[in-house]
Structure 1
Amino acid sequence: MAVTIKDVAKRAKVATSTVSRVIQDSPKISEATKARVRKEMKALGYEPNYSAQSLANRVTQSIGIIMPESDVAIFQNPFFPESLRGISEWVNEHNYTLSIVTGKTSDELLSRVKLMTRTGRVDGYIVLYSKQKDSIVEYLHKEKIPYTVIGKPQQFISETTHVDNDNYQAAKDVVTYLTGLNHERIAYVGGDQEHIVNLERLRGYQDALREAGLPLPKEYVVREPFNLEDMRTLLQASPPPTAMIVSDDLVAMAVQKMLAQLGVSMPEQLSMVSFNNLMLAELMNPPLTSVDIDIFSLGYQAAKSLIEKIKDPKELTKHIIVPHRIVERKSSQTL
């Protein structure tokens, strides 16, 4: 005979409603009671019927993950699998599932988010990026759908729970690190002009140079997209940079290849520092000095904040900053 929720309640000496709340991981139930009920569930071999729970409570136990609009390139960026690993860690602990939302354009992405919402497939969303004038964030906010953002939102910032690094300060710290190595001519390469993370890092770089009284010629900043000739032009500036900050590790890998084609050796002729500290940073030749932004924690904290909001709509808005640190490797050296 199948074990029922009543059997668990009887053995744990609690009400069936308490067992139900434990299954939902309700914050209204103490950790001690949760532990006791779960112990009896395991002893009896009881497996909760999450589908039935969802129908009864009109929840899906599923959250949507909104990727940036793209066709192929986004899936080749290790930032997203690592952030998904952090998200998965929390949702698996709390018996949620994930649904990935993708689209080649922002309109297609918005259409799919609306369809997923209309058909009741998820309880809320994590937006894996932040950019200016985002129609998806506008839609989620207008419809009062629970969501969190990884990054610094530009709309409804005081009302939007988000998890981010202090990218502005991180870029300033990189400039300080390089000036500590006696570099004064520092270039910045990469980053589009749409996503907030890129704008914040560029702003931090520019402000740090100004505050240090160091030169900031316009030719020292090269934005995406760029090519080999753009890199050649940068290196032919008068005077040429002795160090380079790159917007992220993937871009740094492309830049390193261009530098090799131009006969520039790292770090003897040019020091380089990047952001994100992906695994490939260690595999580059020379290994890349990079800012570790703890991508796993960005995902983990975003999932935690969203599920807390889903369970308690009165949960206060949170602005969570995940610390960063510079991981020094052989791509940078004292001038």
Structure 2
Amino acid sequence: MSVTIKDVAREVGVAPSTVSRTLQDHPSISKETKERVRKAMDKLGYVPNASAQNLAKKFSNTIGVVFPVLSSDDRKSNPFYLEAITAMNQEAGKQNVTISFASGETQEELLENVQLMYKQKRVDGFILLYVRKNDPVLQYLVEQSIPYTVIGQPYQYSNGTSCVDNDNQLLGRTATQYLIDKGHKRILFVTNYEKENVFQERCYGYQKSMEESGLEPFPYAVLKQPSDYIEFEETLKKLKPTACMAIDDMFALRVIQLANLYGYTVPDNLSVISFNNSIFTTLIHPYITSIDIHTEELGRIAVQQFIQQLKAPQAMKQKVLIPHTLIERETVLDRAKA
């Protein structure tokens, strides 16, 4: 049989309420009594019921982490999420809190899961791993005054939102300018999603950098359906880009595979640069030149920001920008030296 609060109270010779208040470190219980109660707990092997404690307190000490609805197998296996949640788990452990995850196959299912987690007091609030337009989850959090932090820059409610992000416009500019400095003038942006803010900001940075250098930006290419991959060959023949900018490393591998299939050699005929600097950059040769967005730091700071909200809910919401680093490898040809 498991040891209960009553067993501990009987051992010490105090009321069960005294044991309960000791668990909450209540100031009404003397230091001497707390020490006696804790020694009895150790002696009897008492393990506090976390769920019961959470109901007695206002906080569950658990953060809900919300995944986006992922529309493709490629995006579901994107290492960004694994790297982010690994760092979040590590930081949560340091802060004596736990992480719980919310996901869904549809936007409606995701919203229902988020609502259920909060109504059942399983979490104190949420960290969103994504940003999208007209997001019902974000709208629900705002309307219900639920604490939340966003990894990214939300379209709505930006002024009152705690968020951690990279400067994605600057990321797009950095990648584009690097290619221009290497002698590339015909640069194509390629992506497998287009609705999220990350893509739109990076694409805008690409367009502005091209225009400021007196170059014409191409319309971006979206590869989602099998027909898109077939049409990509015609896109390459028509536009004749010397370089492609891929939305992330995993997708960059797909772009390189397609280029090879269509008779291009990377980087000799077609250079490729991407974002995230994930494990995929060094899986096969040529190793991918990529911009490191420091995903682990994004996850770590997001947990810290959320906990600060719980401690000071009336404090001004903060926006933290994580700097990036360009990692040169093997997929960009220096045409300026050719």
**Equivalent residue number for residue 222 of structure 1:** 221
Amino acid at match of 2:293: I
Amino acid at match of 1:313: P
**Equivalent residue number for residue 199 of structure 1:** 200
**Equivalent residue number for residue 80 of structure 2:** 79
**Equivalent residue number for residue 191 of structure 2:** 190
**Equivalent residue number for residue 158 of structure 2:** 157
| Paired-residue identity, % | 32
Q: Please state whether the residue corresponding to 2:238 is helix, strand or coil.
A: coil
Whether the 8 Å contact between 2:291 and 2:324 is mirrored in structure 1 is yes
Q: What is the alpha-carbon distance in structure 2 between the residues aligned to residue 50 and residue 298 of structure 1?
A: 33
**Equivalent residue number for residue 29 of structure 2:** none
Q: What is the alpha-carbon distance in structure 2 between the residues aligned to residue 48 and residue 316 of structure 1?
A: 38
TM-score of the two chains, using structure 2 as the length reference: 0.83
TM-score of the two chains, using structure 1 as the length reference: 0.83
Matches within 5 A, 1:1-335: 20=25, 49=48, 51=50, 53-70=53-70, 73=73, 74-218=75-219, 221-225=220-224, 227-238=228-239, 240-335=240-335
C-alpha change, 1:237 and 1:160, in structure 2 (3 Å) is: same
Q: What is the alpha-carbon distance in structure 1 between the residues aligned to residue 316 and residue 223 of structure 2?
A: 38
Amino acid at match of 2:306: L
Whether the 8 Å contact between 1:71 and 1:103 is mirrored in structure 2 is no
**Equivalent residue number for residue 36 of structure 1:** none
Deviation digits for residues 129-167 of structure 1, max 9, x if unmatched? 001111100000000000001111011100000111001
Report deviation, 1:54.
Answer: 2.8
C-alpha change, 1:265 and 1:71, in structure 2 (3 Å) is: closer
Whether the 8 Å contact between 1:192 and 1:223 is mirrored in structure 2 is yes
Whether the 8 Å contact between 2:187 and 2:218 is mirrored in structure 1 is no
Q: What is the alpha-carbon distance in structure 1 between the residues aligned to residue 107 and residue 232 of structure 2?
A: 31
Report deviation, 1:193.
Answer: 2.4
Q: What is the alpha-carbon distance in structure 2 between the residues aligned to residue 59 and residue 252 of structure 1?
A: 43
Deviation digits for residues 282-309 of structure 1, max 9, x if unmatched? 1132000001000111111111111111
C-alpha change, 1:100 and 1:72, in structure 2 (3 Å) is: farther
**Equivalent residue number for residue 16 of structure 2:** none
RMSD: 2.7
Query: Runs of at least 4 residues of structure 1 off by over 4 A?
Result: 44-50
In the alignment, structure 2 segments of 5+ residues that lack a partner are: 1-6, 13-20, 27-37
Report deviation, 1:325.
Answer: 1.1
Number of paired residues? 303
Deviation digits for residues 203-241 of structure 1, max 9, x if unmatched? 1101110111012243xx202325332221122125x11
Q: Please state whether the residue corresponding to 2:99 is helix, strand or coil.
A: strand
Q: Please state whether the residue corresponding to 1:313 is helix, strand or coil.
A: coil
Whether the 8 Å contact between 2:168 and 2:198 is mirrored in structure 1 is yes
C-alpha change, 1:140 and 1:325, in structure 2 (3 Å) is: same
Amino acid at match of 1:224: L
Q: Please state whether the residue corresponding to 2:320 is helix, strand or coil.
A: strand
In the alignment, structure 1 segments of 5+ residues that lack a partner are: 8-15, 22-40
Report deviation, 1:191.
Answer: 4.3
Structure with max Cα Rg: 2
Q: What is the alpha-carbon distance in structure 1 between the residues aligned to residue 320 and residue 111 of structure 2?
A: 26
Whether the 8 Å contact between 2:276 and 2:292 is mirrored in structure 1 is yes
